Amino acid sequence: MGKVGIIGVGQSSFVRGFPGSIKELAFQGFQEAMKDAAITSEDIEASIVCSAPEYDKQRSPAGVLSEYLGLTPQPTCYLESLCSSSSMGIRMGYSLIKSGLHDVVAVIGFQKMSEISSAESQERMGRGADLQWESPFGTMMPAYYAMYARAHMDKYGTKPEDLAAIRVKASTYGQINDKAVYRKAVNMEDFANPDSRMAGSVASPLRVGDCCANADGSSCIIMASEEKARALSDKPVWVLGVGAASTTVNLAGRNLFTGLTVARDAAREAYAMAGIGPRDIDVAEVHDCFTIAELMAYENLGFAEPGQGVELIRNKETYREGRIPVNVDGGLLSKGHPIGATGGSQIRTIVLQLRGEAGEMQVKDPEIGLVHNIGGVGLYGNVTILGR
């Protein structure tokens, strides 16, 4: 059985309030990926469309996108696992190719978060947890991650300043990523000044600056069988591991609050598939929907022992020049987090890094990269390992 390769990557700019339809938004990521792969719609044998349905007005978006992108009459379907939808799409694309069913598959992620009003969005946020048992208490995404942050601080002595330092790193690279929604610098002083917007409490201990930027955006990844990849591309990047896991929605069903079991479990599977370990990773994209999420990722992926993740940020080891560069494209914190497009965008960043095409964000000569993409509050976890 041959390998599975990635032969084209693309994403739209991540923006606030995309002035067009979801089809036109999806076109932007698709256009860049298809030009990158230098193929046409007829070469795509199947497509997988990924988004989080609570932001969609269109029922069953796969059909309208496949029509607009010229992907009919090939099969298409919609896939969701909240914020990790397009990484799950990569995993499904991998299995379609590995099974021999298709040779070339497009994984299209998109989210027009501004499709619904902010009041509608506020209402949907209330339904993000278990509707029967947790939502009636008035839960929100930041508050759940804040509960993890509180537990991590209590057990390991992690400081709010450690979390702020992760945001400062993200902004360093958001400023040089022309696809990022948040292009401004964030400094430690912004968190220290109580009058600053960044320092305002959202859900203790998390502050405004600890939370990622919502955005509209799209991404597209073109996957191919080894034979097709070698025939169509002179720079394929290979999929070495596709780990995935889930856990309970209800916090009451969990036992760990200083890390995410889904990340740990998905990483274990992905490392085993790839036959490598954390020390072999040269560059990583992790799901920093909140600063604490990046810190926990360091530990769950094995870049640091539990409780030692803070040393990586304190010593700037996760900066571009450090031992294990993480989110050197600005991450979700600065690049933005258009739910269904996020995983594909992370994959794109790593593919560009491995090809040496990341421009100002380029890490020195990486051979193996990792993507950590989480859906919900550590509900779904995907870890994807790519290599040259």
Partner 1 sequence: MSKKEIDDRFKKFGTVSFIGQSKVNDFIDYLEQGKIMGTKCRDCGMMFFPPRADCYKCLTSNMEWFEVSKPGKLVTFSKLQFGPIGFENDLPYIIALLDFDEYKVFGRIADQVPENELSIGMQMKAVVNKLPNGQLNYVFERA
Residues with a known catalytic role:
83, 337
Q: Is residue 201 involved in binding partner 1 (CB under 8 A)?
A: yes
Both tokens of residue 33?
A: 């990926």
Greatest extent of the chain over all pairs of C-alpha atoms, in Å: 59
Binding map of partner 1 across residues 272-311, x = CB under 8 A, - = no contact = ----------------------------------------
Query: 246 - beta bridge partners?
Result: 380
Q: Quickly count: other Cβ atoms within 10 Å of residue 59's Cβ.
A: 9
User: By CB under 8 A, which span of 70-78, 214-222, 246-254, 271-279 interacts with partner 1?
Assistant: 246-254
Give the one residue of 64, 125, 273, 276 binding partner 1; rule: CB under 8 A: 125
User: By CB under 8 A, which span of 58-66, 173-181, 195-203, 349-357 interacts with partner 1?
Assistant: 195-203
Give the one residue of 20, 133, 159, 364 binding partner 1; rule: CB under 8 A: 133
Q: Is residue 227 involved in binding partner 1 (CB under 8 A)?
A: no
Residue 155 or 323: the one with the smaller Cβ distance to partner 1 is 155
**Shortest distance, position 205 Cβ to partner 1, whole Å:** 8
Q: Is residue 206 involved in binding partner 1 (CB under 8 A)?
A: yes
**Shortest distance, position 254 Cβ to partner 1, whole Å:** 8
Sequence length of the chain is 388
Query: Quick one: which of 105, 38, 13, 97 has its CA closest to 66?
Result: 105
Query: Residues near 125 by Cβ (< 8 Å), separated by ≥ 6?
Result: 140, 141
Q: Is residue 123 involved in binding partner 1 (CB under 8 A)?
A: yes
Query: Residues near 135 by Cβ (< 8 Å), separated by ≥ 6?
Result: 126, 127, 128, 129
Asked whether the beta carbons of 283 and 350 are under 8 A apart, the reply is yes
Residue numbers 347-386 binding partner 1 by CB under 8 A: none
Handedness of CA 301, 336, 330, 342 (dihedral sign): positive
Give the one residue of 20, 157, 200, 277 binding partner 1; rule: CB under 8 A: 200
Give backbone dihedrals phi and psi of 244, rounded to 5 degrees, phi first: -150, 155
Asked whether the beta carbons of 330 and 180 are under 8 A apart, the reply is yes
Give the one residue of 24, 115, 134, 161 binding partner 1; rule: CB under 8 A: 134
